[in-house]
Amino acid sequence: MKQLHPWPGSVAEAEAVQDRLRGEVELSGPDSFALVAGLDVHYRGDDALTAAVVVLDGGTLEPVEEVVAHGEAAFPYVPGLFAFRELPALVAALERLTVTPDLLVCDGYGLAHPRGFGLACHLGVLTGLPALGVGKTPFVGTHEPPGPERGAWTPIVHEGATVGRALRTQREVKPVYVSQGHRISLDVATDQVLRLTPRYRLPEPVRRADHLARHPS
DNA sequence: GCGACAG
DNA sequence: ATCTTGTCGC
């Protein structure tokens, strides 16, 4: 795990961190994953928050390990700098795992970001693990609506480049927005999100992490 | 210049 | 993200 510090104290410093780490992102990697982790954070008013990580068997989607870490928002909410709010708590939760996941499925964006370095890229570079981002609402770029069938997708284009995909994970259900985080291709990221959504709109690991963060044991 | 803007 | 009732559907 890379060091988090020095922690940015301003918007300019945070943007500089992103611009510096962006060069370390790798856009290709493995195409199958034995252990898949979902990450999410739940806010409990003020600055208090709970980060949850749930690791699933990549084949059966059965849970393998669940951890939580309580903390506080580490930065004000600024679109594009969202990662700095949640990173310390998410990293603390990851450090509590006794297993090492082979893929991180993050709640938010990766490459599809104003500076090409969203939360999924940041977590991937810090941990060195393959990572992808799944957003619930559009952020940067433009895209056509994908067809109504599960598996249909359209490219998200930002400043002339494809930075992600709008992907229909269930028939007639709003698409999710998939982007590369680290050490993964867009094709593999898309394939993984589909594998992880047998029933619901959002990937199973993220759904489970969301539930755990809301209802810690 | 102004508004919009992941969670 | 969160504040919140009812309602529709499996």
What is the tens place of the pLDDT at every residue in A179-213?
999 999 999 999 999 999 999 999 999 999 999 99
Mean pLDDT across A147-167: 95
Domain ranges within chain A, ordered by starting residue: 11-214
Residue A46 CB burial class (10 angstroms; 0-12, 13-18, ≥19): exposed
Beta strands per DSSP E along A31-109: 35-43, 48-57, 63-72, 103-107
List the A161-167 sheet strands across, edge first: A63-72, A48-57, A35-43, A103-107, A131-135, A176-182, A161-167, A153-158
Q: Look at residue A8 in the predicted model and tell me its pLDDT.
A: 96
How many Å does it take to go from CA A50 to C1' C4? 22
Distances from the Cα of A214 to the Cαs of A21, A27, A63, A136, A176, in angstroms? 31, 33, 17, 18, 22
Mean pLDDT across A9-31: 96
Residue nearest B6, CA–C1′ metric: A108
Q: Look at residue A46 in the predicted model and tell me its pLDDT.
A: 78
Residue nearest C3, CA–C1′ metric: A45
Helices (H), chain A: 11-21, 83-96, 119-127, 186-195, 204-214
How many Å does it take to go from CA A212 to C1' C10? 24
Token pair 């898309």 is found at A190
Q: HSE of A81 in the Cβ direction (CA atoms, 13 Å)?
A: 19
**Closest nt to A135 (CA→C1')?**
B6
What is the tens place of the pLDDT at every residue in A78-128?
999 999 999 999 999 999 999 999 999 999 999 999 999 999 999 999 999
A205 φψ region: left (φ > 0), alpha (ψ -120 to 50), beta (else): alpha
What is the tens place of the pLDDT at every residue in A21-60?
999 999 999 999 999 999 999 999 878 999 999 999 999 9
Cβ A197 vs Cβ A204: under 8 Å: yes
Instruction: Classify domain A11-214 by CATH architecture.
Output: 2-Layer Sandwich (3.30)
